[in-house]
Amino acid sequence: MIHPFEAGSGIEAGVDEVGRGCGAGRSGCSRYSATKGQNPWITRFQKLTASKRKELSGKIRELALDYSIAIATVEEIDQINILEATYLAMTRAIAQLKIKPDLLVIDGNRFKNQTGINHRTVVGGDDKVLSIAAASVLAKTWRDAYMEELHIEFPQYDWINNKGYLSPKHRQACFTHGLAPHHRKSFKGMTRQDDET
Protein backbone atom coordinates (compact mmCIF):
# COMPACT_ATOMS: atom_id res chain seq x y z
CA MET A 1 0.00 0.00 0.00
CA ILE A 2 1.49 3.33 -1.06
CA HIS A 3 0.91 6.20 1.36
CA PRO A 4 2.46 9.47 2.55
CA PHE A 5 5.50 8.80 4.70
CA GLU A 6 4.83 10.80 7.85
CA ALA A 7 1.82 12.87 8.92
CA GLY A 8 2.60 16.42 9.97
CA SER A 9 6.06 16.54 8.38
CA GLY A 10 5.21 19.50 6.13
CA ILE A 11 6.55 19.39 2.59
CA GLU A 12 7.83 15.89 1.90
CA ALA A 13 10.24 15.22 -0.96
CA GLY A 14 10.64 11.69 -2.25
CA VAL A 15 14.01 10.82 -3.80
CA ASP A 16 14.83 7.87 -6.04
CA GLU A 17 17.59 6.91 -8.46
CA VAL A 18 17.46 5.14 -11.79
CA GLY A 19 19.99 3.35 -13.98
CA ARG A 20 22.36 2.40 -11.19
CA GLY A 21 22.95 -1.16 -12.39
CA CYS A 22 23.19 -0.38 -16.10
CA GLY A 23 26.29 -0.89 -18.17
CA ALA A 24 25.59 2.15 -20.31
CA GLY A 25 24.23 5.66 -19.92
CA ARG A 26 24.00 8.23 -17.21
CA SER A 27 22.66 7.55 -13.76
CA GLY A 28 19.74 9.76 -12.83
CA CYS A 29 17.95 10.89 -9.71
CA SER A 30 14.51 12.40 -9.32
CA ARG A 31 13.03 14.41 -6.50
CA TYR A 32 9.33 15.02 -6.09
CA SER A 33 7.86 17.39 -3.49
CA ALA A 34 4.32 17.06 -2.24
CA THR A 35 2.06 17.93 0.63
CA LYS A 36 0.09 15.11 2.20
CA GLY A 37 -2.61 13.27 0.30
CA GLN A 38 -1.64 14.02 -3.28
CA ASN A 39 -1.71 11.51 -6.13
CA PRO A 40 -3.62 8.58 -4.56
CA TRP A 41 -3.90 7.07 -8.07
CA ILE A 42 -0.29 5.88 -8.05
CA THR A 43 -0.37 2.10 -7.57
CA ARG A 44 2.49 -0.29 -6.96
CA PHE A 45 5.39 1.13 -8.96
CA GLN A 46 6.95 -2.18 -10.02
CA LYS A 47 3.69 -3.27 -11.67
CA LEU A 48 3.37 -0.19 -13.90
CA THR A 49 3.81 -0.68 -17.63
CA ALA A 50 5.98 1.74 -19.61
CA SER A 51 2.89 3.37 -21.15
CA LYS A 52 1.24 3.76 -17.74
CA ARG A 53 4.42 5.30 -16.28
CA LYS A 54 4.51 7.78 -19.16
CA GLU A 55 0.87 8.71 -18.58
CA LEU A 56 1.42 9.12 -14.84
CA SER A 57 4.56 11.17 -15.40
CA GLY A 58 2.52 13.94 -17.02
CA LYS A 59 0.00 13.95 -14.16
CA ILE A 60 2.76 13.98 -11.56
CA ARG A 61 4.44 16.99 -13.18
CA GLU A 62 1.11 18.84 -13.20
CA LEU A 63 0.33 18.17 -9.53
CA ALA A 64 3.80 18.45 -8.01
CA LEU A 65 4.65 21.37 -5.77
CA ASP A 66 8.11 21.00 -7.30
CA TYR A 67 10.25 18.33 -8.94
CA SER A 68 13.71 17.97 -10.42
CA ILE A 69 15.81 15.42 -12.28
CA ALA A 70 19.61 15.43 -12.09
CA ILE A 71 22.31 13.16 -13.44
CA ALA A 72 25.76 11.78 -12.86
CA THR A 73 27.68 11.37 -16.10
CA VAL A 74 29.33 8.18 -17.33
CA GLU A 75 32.70 9.85 -16.72
CA GLU A 76 31.77 10.64 -13.11
CA ILE A 77 30.53 7.09 -12.55
CA ASP A 78 33.82 5.67 -13.83
CA GLN A 79 35.89 8.14 -11.78
CA ILE A 80 34.19 8.01 -8.36
CA ASN A 81 32.16 4.72 -8.55
CA ILE A 82 28.43 4.23 -8.96
CA LEU A 83 27.48 4.63 -5.29
CA GLU A 84 29.22 8.00 -4.93
CA ALA A 85 27.83 9.06 -8.31
CA THR A 86 24.32 8.19 -7.09
CA TYR A 87 24.80 10.38 -4.02
CA LEU A 88 26.07 13.14 -6.30
CA ALA A 89 23.01 12.96 -8.55
CA MET A 90 20.71 12.98 -5.51
CA THR A 91 22.44 16.04 -4.06
CA ARG A 92 22.18 17.83 -7.41
CA ALA A 93 18.48 17.03 -7.72
CA ILE A 94 17.81 18.37 -4.23
CA ALA A 95 19.78 21.57 -4.93
CA GLN A 96 17.74 22.22 -8.09
CA LEU A 97 14.44 22.51 -6.27
CA LYS A 98 12.89 25.96 -5.98
CA ILE A 99 10.86 24.96 -2.92
CA LYS A 100 12.87 23.67 0.04
CA PRO A 101 11.23 20.59 1.57
CA ASP A 102 10.97 19.88 5.29
CA LEU A 103 11.80 16.19 4.91
CA LEU A 104 13.63 14.05 2.36
CA VAL A 105 12.41 10.46 2.01
CA ILE A 106 15.03 8.36 0.23
CA ASP A 107 14.46 5.02 -1.47
CA GLY A 108 17.00 2.52 -0.12
CA ASN A 109 18.92 2.02 3.10
CA ARG A 110 21.52 4.81 3.02
CA PHE A 111 22.13 8.36 1.90
CA LYS A 112 25.10 10.69 2.25
CA ASN A 113 23.19 13.79 3.35
CA GLN A 114 24.97 17.04 2.55
CA THR A 115 21.81 19.12 2.24
CA GLY A 116 21.05 20.25 5.79
CA ILE A 117 17.52 18.83 5.40
CA ASN A 118 16.24 16.02 7.64
CA HIS A 119 15.93 12.70 5.86
CA ARG A 120 14.64 9.16 6.27
CA THR A 121 15.53 6.08 4.22
CA VAL A 122 12.95 3.47 3.23
CA VAL A 123 13.91 0.11 1.72
CA GLY A 124 11.52 -0.63 -1.14
CA GLY A 125 10.22 2.90 -0.82
CA ASP A 126 8.91 3.06 -4.39
CA ASP A 127 6.28 0.49 -3.40
CA LYS A 128 5.51 2.03 0.00
CA VAL A 129 5.80 5.82 0.01
CA LEU A 130 3.77 8.10 -2.24
CA SER A 131 6.43 10.75 -2.82
CA ILE A 132 9.12 8.14 -3.62
CA ALA A 133 6.75 6.34 -6.02
CA ALA A 134 6.16 9.63 -7.84
CA ALA A 135 9.91 10.34 -8.00
CA SER A 136 10.45 6.81 -9.35
CA VAL A 137 7.98 7.35 -12.16
CA LEU A 138 9.65 10.63 -13.17
CA ALA A 139 13.15 9.12 -13.03
CA LYS A 140 12.25 5.97 -14.96
CA THR A 141 10.37 7.76 -17.74
CA TRP A 142 13.22 10.28 -18.12
CA ARG A 143 15.89 7.58 -18.40
CA ASP A 144 13.86 5.39 -20.76
CA ALA A 145 13.50 8.35 -23.14
CA TYR A 146 17.22 9.13 -22.81
CA MET A 147 18.27 5.57 -23.71
CA GLU A 148 15.82 5.51 -26.62
CA GLU A 149 17.52 8.66 -27.98
CA LEU A 150 20.95 7.04 -27.67
CA HIS A 151 19.62 3.97 -29.49
CA ILE A 152 19.10 6.06 -32.65
CA GLU A 153 22.86 6.66 -32.89
CA PHE A 154 23.93 3.25 -31.56
CA PRO A 155 21.25 0.71 -32.62
CA GLN A 156 23.67 -2.22 -32.42
CA TYR A 157 23.45 -2.24 -28.60
CA ASP A 158 19.63 -2.55 -28.55
CA TRP A 159 19.28 0.20 -25.95
CA ILE A 160 15.68 0.82 -26.98
CA ASN A 161 14.83 -2.53 -25.39
CA ASN A 162 17.45 -3.14 -22.68
CA LYS A 163 17.71 0.53 -21.58
CA GLY A 164 21.44 0.07 -20.95
CA TYR A 165 21.23 -3.05 -18.79
CA LEU A 166 23.62 -5.84 -19.78
CA SER A 167 21.27 -8.28 -21.48
CA PRO A 168 22.91 -11.14 -23.42
CA LYS A 169 22.29 -9.26 -26.69
CA HIS A 170 23.83 -6.07 -25.27
CA ARG A 171 26.91 -7.90 -23.99
CA GLN A 172 27.41 -9.67 -27.30
CA ALA A 173 27.22 -6.33 -29.10
CA CYS A 174 29.92 -4.99 -26.76
CA PHE A 175 32.14 -7.96 -27.67
CA THR A 176 31.45 -7.57 -31.40
CA HIS A 177 31.52 -3.79 -31.82
CA GLY A 178 33.52 -2.65 -28.82
CA LEU A 179 32.34 -0.06 -26.32
CA ALA A 180 30.56 3.18 -27.17
CA PRO A 181 31.35 6.49 -25.42
CA HIS A 182 28.24 5.96 -23.28
CA HIS A 183 29.42 2.67 -21.77
CA ARG A 184 30.63 2.55 -18.17
CA LYS A 185 34.11 1.19 -18.61
CA SER A 186 34.56 0.56 -14.88
CA PHE A 187 31.73 -1.99 -14.85
CA LYS A 188 32.49 -5.71 -15.03
CA GLY A 189 31.13 -7.75 -17.91
CA MET A 190 31.69 -5.12 -20.59
CA THR A 191 34.50 -6.98 -22.40
CA ARG A 192 35.61 -10.57 -22.95
CA GLN A 193 38.62 -9.84 -20.75
CA ASP A 194 36.23 -9.30 -17.83
CA ASP A 195 35.00 -12.87 -18.24
CA GLU A 196 38.56 -14.15 -18.09
CA THR A 197 39.51 -12.39 -14.82
Cβ contact 126:17 at 8 Å: no
79 within a domain of the structure (yes/no): yes
Q: Residue 162: inside a domain, yes or no?
A: no
* Strand 66-72 with 103-107, pairing: unpaired
Q: Does residue 117 lie within any of the structural domains? A: yes
d(CA 88, CA 83): 9
Expressed as residue numbers, the domain containing 131 is 12-139
* 1 found inside a domain: no
Specify the pTM: 0.87
Whether residue 189 is contained in a domain is answered as no
Q: Domain of 25: which CATH number?
A: 3.30.420.10
Would the pLDDT of 31 be above 90? Answer: no
Q: What are the tens digits of pLDDT across the range 74-97? A: 999 999 999 999 999 999 999 999
Mean pLDDT computed over 110-135? 91
